[in-house]
Structure formats: structure tokens, C-alpha cells
A = this chain, B = another copy of it.
Amino acid sequence: MNADKAPPSTAASDPRGRVRPLLRTRQVREFTDEPIQDDVIDAMLEVARWSGSSRNEQPWRFVVIRDAATIARLAAAGMPQTRLLHTAPAAIAIVLPDEPDRAVSRAFDDGRVAERLLIAAGMLDIAAGIAWIRGDVRPAIREALGLPDGWLVRTIVGLGHPTAAARTPKSAPGEARRPLEELVHRERWSG
């Protein structure tokens, strides 16, 4: 038996097959000019809404941006991290309370919802990429989005349809991640 050549299975008895949508989550940073349909945006927002958060506080708000001039302004403000927004026909800014003493906990929740949006994009046959907003860029982003005091944006998720180049994996299968034996310990670090 050659496990490498086994056909993909989605049977209930095949755990790896069941989590396949999570194994193929990829970030995309270059999009075509094809727009995103309204019902796809709505599904993304439902996924965002149902994200879990510390004590179910749901600290986030979301700004959906489809206006090309606003997206261009966001893209220009935070280079190079915001480069992917240049070609995105839509974006979702994740807005969180600006509380320095809870920054780590808020960043954890930010990561949870951002990851859900990436996974949802894959399920919806669109693509997404995370633009990280550096601290020095946040005032310009706040201004562009009209945020009130006390809120900040650390993450903007760009959405679109991937270009052919963006669809092409940049590394050979198996090379994009460390092997499990390098990442995993059993029972104890030394184990």
C-alpha cells in the first residue's frame, strides 16, 4: 500500500478528510477585478458575527468597505502590509476597543475572527488576505473609516477572486510548513 497515492476520501471514518477545508486555507494577496456578490459578503458577516470571544463580549465591530476610493486610501496608508488591498474589490475592517491593558486578550480575539474570515472565504470560493495595520498607521485608518475615539483597527481582511498567479502555490507540497515531528511534543516537551 502506498499511502501517498491513496485517493482522497471524505468518509466519516476519515478524520483527515473531514478537516480538509481547514488544510487548504490560504492567504491571497492579489485579486481580479471581479466584484464580490452581496450574499457572499452577508455570509462572511454572519461568520464574523458568530465568532467566539472572551466571556462572549463580542468586542468587535466590522466596517465593510466596497468603495474603490476608500479601499485605495486604506491600501496607500499602511504600505507595505496593506499592499494586498490595492486589488481587493471588498474589505472588512475588524474594529476593536482600544484598551492598552487588554491588548493581548483583544489581539487573541482579533486573530480568532480573522482566521474565521479566511476559512469562510475558502468555503465560498473567493479568497482573502490579512492586512496588518501597524501602530503608526492606525490614526490614518481611523480617519479614513470615521472611527470614534476608543476604537482601533489592527486587521483589515481584503476579499476578492484570486488571480491565476495567486492561485499557484508558491512552494512545493509539504514544504510550506514545518513537519509535525518538529512541532509536536507528547505529554511533555521532552517527550
Complex-state Cα separation, A52 to B177, whole angstroms: 9
Residues of chain A having any CB pair with chain B under 8 Å: 12, 15-16, 18-19, 21-23, 25-27, 37, 39-40, 42-52, 54, 56, 58, 60-67, 70, 95, 103-105, 107-116, 118-120, 123-125, 130, 132, 145-148, 151, 154-155, 176-178, 180, 183-191
Instruction: Report the minimal beta-carbon distance from A68 to chain B, rounded to whole angstroms.
Output: 11
Give 24 CB contacts A-B under 8 Å. Answer: A12-B125, A15-B37, A15-B39, A15-B42, A16-B46, A18-B123, A19-B43, A19-B44, A19-B123, A22-B50, A23-B46, A52-B130, A58-B177, A61-B183, A61-B184, A63-B185, A67-B187, A104-B104, A104-B107, A105-B132, A107-B107, A111-B112, A113-B115, A115-B116
CB contact under 8 A between A115 and B123, given known A23-B50, A49-B177, A187-B66: no
Q: Which chain B positions have C-beta within 8 A of A48?
A: 183
Tell me whether B63 and A188 are in contact (CB under 8 A): yes
Tell me whether A119 and B18 are in contact (CB under 8 A): no
Tell me whether A64 and B108 are in contact (CB under 8 A): no
Top 9 A-B pairs ranked by shortest CB distance? A111-B111, A15-B43, A108-B111, A112-B115, A107-B107, A146-B188, A111-B112, A146-B189, A104-B107
Contact of A178 among B58, B151, B187 (CB under 8 A): B58
Instruction: Report the minimal beta-carbon distance from A62 to chain B, rounded to whole angstroms.
Output: 5
Most buried by B among A15, A40, A62: A15
Instruction: Report the minimal beta-carbon distance from A181 to chain B, rounded to whole angstroms.
Output: 10
